[in-house]
């Protein structure tokens, strides 16, 4: 039945009731289809031997060359880059790196203080009167000295000096023959002098000034600038002094305020302690009184219990007597109504 394809179809249908179709096609149908020609050749040989005749040997089909099924080369996968190592997070520089050190601050303070003291001493020296540097004598001494010098000169005898007489002015100048170049040059000099004079007059008309006036104005302005610089230095010195004194006063005010706050806190603390002590004493007295009451209560407990028992007895007795009295009155009223 393995060589019959109908049986194979029946086997496939019946097997699909119990197994999966993929499993049947892979494990049974494919195997039967593969070996069915071999089974048929074996069966033919067996039947020929049984019948006593030899059949022509069936040669297998020659192998057919098939072209190589070369697969396309796979695409080159780019190499995965190595992971970049993470650098450790750098610590930020400390704040003190960009801040001045305590030594630098102290040196700056000392330098400013020395500069301030130097300016103060300079101002003191400039403000002092310079009488000790004056070498001029008084008028009376000068007059007396002049009289002494004059008397000494009168007593002196010298050979008189004979001065040479001054030369006589030349009335007739020696004539000089000028050429054309010298005449033109002299004419050019005269023109230049006239032009300078004319320009100077124009400058004066336009509001210009003489050179000595400019130098005088320049000297005045330099003095004013120097005085302004001195005033600015003095102002800065005074401002520094004022700021220093204000800092001292502010520190003093802060110290006084802190002292006042400390005294206030100390006073409040003292009051709280006194209140706490008073409350503690009251509490102790109350506890002591309570203990005394408890102790006295224990001693008088028995007497109080007897008194309570006696009170209860008297109350019951009085209650019974009142009930009897009421019953008696009720009976009398009933009898009176019946009669």
For residues 201 and 250, membership in a common domain is answered with: no
User: What count of Cα atoms within 13 Å lies in the side-chain half-sphere of residue 268?
Assistant: 6
Residue in 127, 102, 116 with CA at minimum distance from that of residue 244:
116
For residues 231 and 312, membership in a common domain is answered with: no
Confidence of residue 339 (pLDDT cuts 50, 70, 90): low
- Has residue 202 been placed in a domain? yes
pLDDT at site 315: 72
For residues 250 and 292, membership in a common domain is answered with: yes
For residues 248 and 314, membership in a common domain is answered with: no
- Has residue 328 been placed in a domain? yes
Cα distance between residue 242 and residue 211, in whole Å: 46
**87-96: long-range pairs with CB below 8 Å, 24+:** none
Query: Strand, helix or coil at 151?
Result: helix
Average pLDDT, whole number, for the chain? 76
- Compute the average pLDDT of residues 83-95: 81
- Has residue 172 been placed in a domain? no
pLDDT tens digits, one per residue of 212-236: 677 777 888 888 888 888 888 888 8
Tokens of 325: 């009295």
- Compute the average pLDDT of residues 158-180: 64
User: How many angstroms separate the most distant Cα atoms in the chain?
Assistant: 205
Confidence of residue 284 (pLDDT cuts 50, 70, 90): confident
Report how far apart, in Å, the C-alpha atoms of 26 and of each of 23, 122, 172, 193 are. Answer: 5, 118, 157, 133
Tokens of 14: 């019946």
Cα distance between residue 244 and residue 250, in whole Å: 10
For residue 3, what is the DSSP state?
T
- Has residue 17 been placed in a domain? yes
For residues 188 and 220, membership in a common domain is answered with: no
Residues 6+ apart with CB under 8 A from 186: 178
Q: How many domains does the chain have?
A: 4
For residues 226 and 289, membership in a common domain is answered with: yes
Q: Are 200 and 210 in contact, with CB atoms under 8 Å apart?
A: no
pLDDT at site 131: 47
pLDDT tens digits, one per residue of 97-143: 777 778 888 888 888 898 888 888 878 766 665 444 455 666 777 78
For residues 194 and 243, membership in a common domain is answered with: no
Q: Is 49 exposed, middle or buried, given 0-12, 13-18 or 19+ CB atoms closer than 10 A?
A: exposed
pLDDT tens digits, one per residue of 49-66: 777 665 555 667 778 888
For residues 237 and 287, membership in a common domain is answered with: yes
- Has residue 168 been placed in a domain? no
pLDDT tens digits, one per residue of 5-17: 677 777 777 777 7
Residues 6+ apart with CB under 8 A from 58: 41, 44
pLDDT at site 128: 60
For residues 289 and 226, membership in a common domain is answered with: yes
- Has residue 217 been placed in a domain? yes
- Has residue 318 been placed in a domain? yes
- Has residue 80 been placed in a domain? no
Tell me: pLDDT of 293 over 60. Answer: yes
- Compute the average pLDDT of residues 252-276: 82
Q: Are 28 and 11 in contact, with CB atoms under 8 Å apart?
A: yes
Q: What is the pTM of this model?
A: 0.25
User: What count of Cα atoms within 13 Å lies in the side-chain half-sphere of residue 297?
Assistant: 6
For residues 310 and 286, membership in a common domain is answered with: no
- Compute the average pLDDT of residues 262-276: 79
Cα distance between residue 329 and residue 57, in whole Å: 156
Residues 6+ apart with CB under 8 A from 100: 108
Look up the domain containing 14 and give its range.
5-51
Tell me: pLDDT of 148 over 60. Answer: yes
For residues 225 and 292, membership in a common domain is answered with: yes
- The enclosing H or E element of 134 equals none
Q: Are 58 and 41 in contact, with CB atoms under 8 Å apart?
A: yes
Q: How many residues does the chain have?
A: 339
Indicate if the alpha-carbon torsion angle 302, 303, 304, 310 is positive or negative: positive
pLDDT at site 54: 54
Indicate if the alpha-carbon torsion angle 250, 254, 259, 264 is positive or negative: positive
Q: What are the φ and ψ backbone dihedral angles of 176, each rounded to 5 degrees?
A: -115, 130
Residue in 23, 24, 31 with CA at minimum distance from that of residue 10:
24
Q: Are 234 and 127 in contact, with CB atoms under 8 Å apart?
A: no
- The enclosing H or E element of 30 equals helix 30-51
Q: Are 24 and 12 in contact, with CB atoms under 8 Å apart?
A: yes
């Amino acid at each position: 039945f393995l060589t019959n394809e109908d049986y194979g179809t029946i086997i496939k249908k019946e097997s699909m009731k119990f197994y999966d179709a993929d499993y049947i096609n892979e494990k049974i149908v494919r195997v039967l289809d593969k070996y069915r020609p071999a089974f048929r050749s074996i069966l033919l040989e067996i039947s020929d031997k049984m019948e006593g005749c030899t059949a022509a040997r069936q040669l297998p089909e020659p192998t057919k060359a098939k072209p190589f099924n070369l697969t396309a080369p796979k695409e080159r996968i780019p190499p995965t880059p190595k992971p970049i190592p993470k650098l450790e997070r750098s610590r930020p520089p400390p704040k003190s790196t960009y801040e001045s050190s305590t030594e630098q601050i102290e040196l700056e303070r000392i330098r400013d203080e020395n500069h301030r003291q130097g300016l103060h001493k300079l101002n003191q020296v400039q403000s002092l009167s310079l009488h000790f540097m004056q070498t001029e004598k008084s008028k009376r001494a000068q007059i007396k000295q002049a009289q002494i010098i004059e008397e000494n000169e009168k007593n002196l005898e010298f050979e008189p000096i004979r001065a040479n007489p001054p030369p006589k002015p030349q009335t007739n100048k020696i004539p000089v023959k000028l050429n054309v170049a010298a005449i033109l040059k002299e004419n050019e000099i005269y023109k230049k002098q006239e032009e300078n004079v004319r320009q100077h007059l124009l400058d004066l008309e336009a509001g210009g000034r003489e050179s000595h006036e400019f130098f005088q104005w320049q000297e005045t302005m330099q003095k004013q600038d120097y005085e302004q610089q001195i005033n600015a230095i003095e102002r800065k010195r005074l401002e520094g002094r004022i700021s220093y004194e204000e800092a001292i006063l502010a520190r003093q005010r802060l110290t006084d305020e802190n002292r006042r706050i400390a005294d206030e806190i100390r006073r409040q603390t003292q009051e709280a302690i006194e209140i706490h002590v008073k409350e503690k004493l009251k509490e102790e007295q109350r506890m002591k009184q309570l203990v005394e009451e408890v102790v006295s209560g224990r001693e008088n407990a028995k007497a109080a219990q007897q008194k309570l028992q006696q009170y209860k007895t008297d109350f019951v007795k009085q209650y019974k007597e009142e009930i009897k009295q009421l019953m008696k009155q009720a009976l009398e009223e009933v009898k009176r109504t019946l009669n």
